[in-house]
Amino acid sequence: MTAVRIEPKDVRLVAFDSDGTLTDRGIAWDTKGAGYRRFDVRDGIAMQWAKKAGLPVVVISGKTSRALDHRLAELAVPGFQGILDKVRCLAAFAEGQGVTLEQCAFLGDDLPDVPALRVVGYPMAVADAHPIVRELAAWTSPSAGGFGAARDALEHVLKARGLWAGVLAHYQASDFADAAVAARRFE
């Protein structure tokens, strides 16, 4: 089943896969068997901006990782790990937020994300996503997973919803709200 597609201005919740989306697909192992993941700080700050702007975010991962536990706790972002049915998990979380699946966006990178991408209203892909994921996506980040793709996605949705100006105002950067003006200043 494929959901009715919506515009990014109509997104009311953004969900993310973790491995390959918030991380770079790699897992480093220490000599004791502990796995390590690398997260992009810009992804994290964008999640905080979204929350402050009233746009809920959630992470839904098929794997379980203590590193992700720590990252989510640091950001105070809800997350679910070891999830085999991402659609059911997202539907339950969205319902708790008063949001339908059609009002959700989902950023993914690989085949386990396809079911969620098919049911949300605004499917998104990281730049280095599997070709099928990119084909399903209404929008694709210019950045690879783990290298700012979540930031790109949230900035895209915040701009479409008219919430980006508030982020810029917080950093005294309102004069850069017009992308054309910002581009000219750095030529």
Looking at residue 2, its pLDDT comes to 67
Q: Compute the mean pLDDT over every residue in the chain, rounded to the nearest whole number.
A: 92
Find the Cα–Cα–Cα–Cα dihedral 152, 158, 159, 163, rounded to 10°: -150
Q: Which two tokens stand for residue 15?
A: 């969900």
What is the set of domains in the chain, with CATH numbers? 8-161 (3.40.50.1000)
Give dist(CA 24, CA 99) in Å, integer.
29
Per-residue pLDDT of 44-89, as tens digits, reads: 999 999 999 999 999 999 999 999 999 999 999 999 999 999 999 9
Residue segments in the chain with a per-residue pLDDT below the cut of 50: 180-187
Looking at residue 178, its pLDDT comes to 66
Sheet holding 122-125, edge to edge: 79-80, 57-60, 13-16, 104-108, 122-125, 139-140
Task: Spell out a b/e string for 17-42, using b for 16 or more CB atoms within 10 Å of the CB, else e.
Answer: bbbbbbbbeeeeeeeeeeeebebbeb
Looking at residue 184, its pLDDT comes to 43
Looking at residue 179, its pLDDT comes to 57
pTM across the whole model: 0.91
Give dist(CA 21, CA 86) in Å, integer.
15
